[in-house]
Structure 1
Amino acid sequence: MFNDSDAIDWRDYVERVTATCRALRKQHYVKLDLQQFLPPGYHNPLRIPQYRGAPA
Structure 2
Amino acid sequence: MKHAQQTSENERFGWKDTLVWCGIPIIIVLLVRVFLIGFYVIPSGSMMDTIEPGDR
* TM-score (structure 2 length as normaliser): 0.28
* TM-score (structure 1 length as normaliser): 0.28
Q: Give the structure, 1 or 2, with the largest relative contact order (CA under 8 Å, sep 6 or more).
A: 1
**Structure (1 or 2) with the greater helix fraction:** 2
Larger Rg: 2
